[in-house]
Amino acid sequence: DAGVIQSPRHEVTEMGQEVTLRCKPISGHDYLFWYRQTMMRGLELLIYFNNNVPIDDSGMPEDRFSAKMPNASFSTLKIQPSEPRDSAVYFCASSLQGSYSNQPQHFGDGTRLSIL
């Protein structure tokens, strides 16, 4: 079975440019999560969706960040304008939760973003 698919794997761009990261969750999963990982702060949850609806975006650092999930098989995380401090590895994860289940989150291999 295909896992969580993220694209691109690497992105290098200049400060001020718009960056769009993409994620295809595992088919049938009803939760989707976006994380950012840095050496200093570890793995931080940015936002998560349930059935395509954003549930908690309290981890989104500022208004330059936005995320959408137009359908059950696709999500984007956009940074506009990008800044050097946004450089990090961004992970997408999905899980099948249901009402009371406790299934694990499954992660993609991430997008390594470098803002020059």
Partner 1 sequence: EDQVTQSPEALRLQEGESSSLNCSYTVSGLRGLFWYRQDPGKGPEFLFTLYSAGEEKEKERLKATLTKKESFLHITAPKPEDSATYLCAVKAGGTSYGKLTFGQGTILTVHP
Q: Check residue 31 for interaction with partner 1 (CB under 8 A).
A: yes
**3-state SS, residue 85:** helix
Partners of residue 48 on adjacent β-strands = 33, 56
Q: Check residue 106 for interaction with partner 1 (CB under 8 A).
A: yes
Report which residue type is found at 79: I
Report which residue type is found at 104: P
Q: Check residue 74 for interaction with partner 1 (CB under 8 A).
A: no
Dist CA 26 CA 3 (whole Å): 6
Among 22, 45, 54, 96, binds partner 1 (CB under 8 A): 45
**3-state SS, residue 56:** strand
| Total chain residues near partner 1 (CB under 8 A) | 23
Q: Check residue 22 for interaction with partner 1 (CB under 8 A).
A: no
Q: Check residue 5 for interaction with partner 1 (CB under 8 A).
A: no
Instruction: Tell me which residue has tokens 């059950």.
Output: 72
Which residues bind to partner 1, rule: CB under 8 A? 4, 31, 33, 42-45, 48, 50, 55-56, 91, 93, 95, 97, 102, 104-110
